[in-house]
Structure 1
Amino acid sequence: MKRVLFFALCLISVPGRIAKSERKLKAFLNGGVLIFCKFGDKFREKQKYFCKGNISTCPNNRLANNSRVFQYENTHRDYLTILITNITSNDTGTYHCGVEDGSSDDPMSLNVKPGDCCDTPISIHGQEGGTVSIRCKYPAESRENTKHFCKQHEKFIESDLIESKPSDINAKYLMSQNENRNIFTVTIHELEMKDAGIYWCGVRTDGYSVALTNKVNLQITGSERQVIQVKGYPRGGIVILCKFGDQRQHNQKYFCKGNATTCSYNRLTRDSDSRFFQHGQVLWDFLTVGFTNLTSGDAGTYHCAENEELHTEVRLSIENDDYCDLPVEETREKGGNVSIACHYPEEYRDHTKHLCEARAEW
């Protein structure tokens, strides 16, 4: 997905320069606000802070991280991102970005406005591999403002996850707008477990901040593993095709025996069992595995897996019927014909029959 660089929000002036007019920031009651403080390279080793008050009282009224206030410093230590949540009318006032040596930037005036956009957090449940759509409300006065969808992490916030501008149609995140209802919708495709977390809907109110309207708690449920029943017979064999998605071509794939807890520690290989074989397709979107000379001890639960993630569950049962004779050996001259008689249980009379070749590289 093409990422959008959020340059416009990082243009807050360097602390210590000549003061200019007060900047006007906006937030909505019960919502949140993102404020970006940009610092010069010479301040990288200095401790930075965000404070409330005029130029003389602000350094003594620094905002500390708590359940409502989060401060994130980027890895280059040249700017702070301040997130204030659950905005109340008491948050109205003047703020500064400051440096420990006493320097501070131009004042920022935050105006908290009423609105019907921000009352209730949104809870969304999605399925791994599926798609969710999230409806974000905003005040009518912000209809023409750029819309944003952000993700809050423990140590940083992705303010540039997606914004309301033309997007790649194949992107993981897509945004559409219904201006008549003051709603924009964000759709997230191909959900992964790591997509779970806290998100924020927002509107850019000026070049220095984003007013956050809706808090979104996205929860992802793991996809249910496919379960297949496989039947084998003593002295016979089985062949199983483990199918994986195209996006998983380069992941390590294997076949293992056991439940969800023990399976990854019991991977089957030719070295561990000479009766076992496996073959990965050239593009590695499926794995062919199998056993020969089955015994009753082979019954049990198996999994097709990749890395540490289990996929298809295979439940193998061994029937005690005597359908599988000893191996048949036939010798013919090159260019001649051969007939091979294959026995099968009565219950499979209407099933498709196969004759397979076991190659040396398996």
Structure 2
Amino acid sequence: MRMWSLENLPFTLCIALICVRSAAALIHVFEYEGRQAVVYCPYIQGYEDYEKYLCKKECGNDYDVLIKTTEANKHKYSIKDDRKGLFTATISDLSLTDAGKYWCGVTRTGKDIYSEVQLDVVEDSCCDTTSTVQGNEESSASFSCTYEPENKDSEKYFCRGNQPSRCLQNTLITSPNQQNGRFRLTDDKASRRFTLTITSLTKQDAGSYLCGVHRNTDLDLFEAFELAVQGWCCVNTNKLKGIVGHPVTMHCPYPPQHRDNRKFLCKGYNRKNCRDMVKTQSRFTLQDDVSSSSFSVMITELKAEDSGTYWCGSDSQWNVGNYVKIQLSAAFEHQTTRTVVSTITVVSTSTVGSQLTNTTGKPINRMFLFHPVVYIIPALLLTLTFALVIVCKCRMDKRRGTRANVNRDNTNEAAIEEVLGEAEIYANQELVFSKKLPTKQRRACQRNEYAGEDQQDSVYRNISASEDIYCNDIYINS
């Protein structure tokens, strides 16, 4: 009996080995290029103190053995035994050539115990197609991913970037948590679609995103998105000018899909805190033209305080592409008149009433002269006043000169009359005087007499008369 048992022992061990190898399930490992693959190798109790190893291909020679438990590390391989029925082998810095068949082995007398391992290595990038999502700064953006029915209860998650290997470790939000700050995840199991919504978008939110479905026995499933965020710098800005007291109209286009949205116009420098003018001001009238996908707001009577920044739109979420920024400035009517007056030039005084030209030499219609008269009349009055002052001054100077001449003539006439009177008194004595005067004095008197006859001026006549009197006085004295 014992002999039979010993003789049949090799056959029994062989059957047991075959059963062990065939009973061990295939160990399937999936990993991304550049990462590390961890192979979990179970073994039966009783082999805790036996040597374990990881080999490749058929493990037919020592070259196929990659690492043993008697070695801590070897190249990019490492191994560890917990002595509780499981040892792990790690392959670091994976490359596509590392993919293939491996074996977890337990060394023993006779045939070793093996467990088959299939390692799949894929590129760490995703995906063949990428969906683009357009978002607007300070608004919200959403993108959705689908999954298969067998993954209905699997964990779903979102992450930034395009590396699937790091996505699960760097998740923004997972399905167990529906809200994480500005990120919200909703899972509609009826349509097998889960959605990520990002609120209060900033320019920093732009970039690549991945949505993933976690699977325990295979690589996770991913879809790729590219989020573009448009800033408020790109809002269309229109400048509009109006005249106080007159009507002015603002035109606001909107996307066709917003035809049923409420249209509004609000005023304020900050678009987040502006006042709805259509609701609060009766002077503002809104009219929607669905056919042209635009609406207009008319201010029936513009006021100076209406100047400022306006925002017209059709989406309360403040999407950039759906808004128009209008800069309105209100001016008084006389301010525009000044501009016209400054360009008018009078050709000549003879053509003032017939034709005026501007700086370009083109005639200006008389209708433009209505307002400039307000400024031309004061200038003409000033000129006339200045001319009158000059004329009055000239007349006063002339009168003063005439009065002085009259006084001077009156004085001369009186002197002449006095001399003539004395001349008549001494007329009969002229001969006597001339005879009795010395020769020298008589000649002097004669010269004075001749001078009095030749000179026409009244002053010289007075001097001649005085000399005659002097000559008579000399004679009397003598």
User: So what's the TM-score if we normalise by structure 1?
Assistant: 0.38
Larger Rg: 2
Compare the two structures and name the one with the higher helix fraction: 2
Q: RCO greater where, 1 or 2, for CA within 8 Å and sep 6 or more?
A: 1
Compare the two structures and name the one with the higher strand fraction: 1
User: So what's the TM-score if we normalise by structure 2?
Assistant: 0.30
